[in-house]
Structures are given as C-alpha cells and as structure tokens.
Amino acid sequence: MEEVRALALPLRITSDGQLARAEGSESLLRLIQAMVATTSGNWPHATWFGLHERFLGVNADVEDQASLADALNQALRHLGVTWARVQQVRSVRGAAYGERRFDVTLLVGDDSRPVSAAVTT
C-alpha cells in the first residue's frame, strides 16, 4: 500500500476553508510526538495511545529501544495504519537535562522507504 495523504498536524485550515493535508509520514511522525508527550491517563478509552510513561521508563543508556518500537507499532495497528510501521527507536545522547530524546525510524509505503525524526519527552 502506498503512503497516503493525511490531515496535517497540528490541524490547520487552508485559505479555501479546507483542513490542510500533508504527507502521511510527516503527519504520522507528528502524531507519534503527541503520543510520546501524553500519558496513558490522558486517553482512558485508549490507554495504548499515551506512551509518555513508556518512554520515560526505559533505560536511556541502551541505544536500541525495541520495546518502544513494539508499543508504537501496536498503537499504529489500533489506529488502522497499514501503510507504515516503526522500524526502530533509538536513544540519543546529549539531550538537555531532564529531557530524553529518541530517533524514530518509520518504514513507509510499498517500498518500505525509511523516514526518521527525533522525538522528545
């Protein structure tokens, strides 16, 4: 399945009154940042969506965070995303004090094109 066009996040209205659209991977990475920034308690009907506690709870000294990739992929399945999956989540050293930074790599579309972005807690 090819990458889809999706609603742009944050939601914006275009000059013609329509909701702005963006590449699906761009919107999906912004959605992942929202998932990382919110707790499971923020979404009582979908506790799998808020992943803040999961990202805070991992050992930041371990580079490959397979359990976080699994949690993100589970959330994407719940959301019905079939055109992308998280290949890898890596801890990034050098974040500001009290902050954790991770690189998230998605595989997008039929050709499994990699797309990466940094997310922070």
CATH at residue 45: 3.10.450.40
Q: What distance in Å separates the CA atoms of residue 88 and residue 54, rounded to the nearest whole number?
A: 15
Q: Are residues 77 and 83 in contact, defined by beta-carbon separation less than 8 angstroms?
A: no
Q: Are residues 116 and 103 in contact, defined by beta-carbon separation less than 8 angstroms?
A: yes
pLDDT at 43 over 60: yes
* C-alpha pair distances (Å), 6 with each of 37, 40, 47: 21, 24, 23
pLDDT tens-digit series, residues 11-25: 788 888 888 888 888
Q: How confident is the model at residue 32 (pLDDT cuts 50, 70, 90)?
A: very high
Number of domains within the chain: 1
Give the tokens for residue 55: 């990202």
Residue 70: domain span? 5-120
pLDDT tens-digit series, residues 75-118: 999 999 988 999 999 999 876 777 889 999 999 988 888 998 88
Give the tokens for residue 21: 């659209």
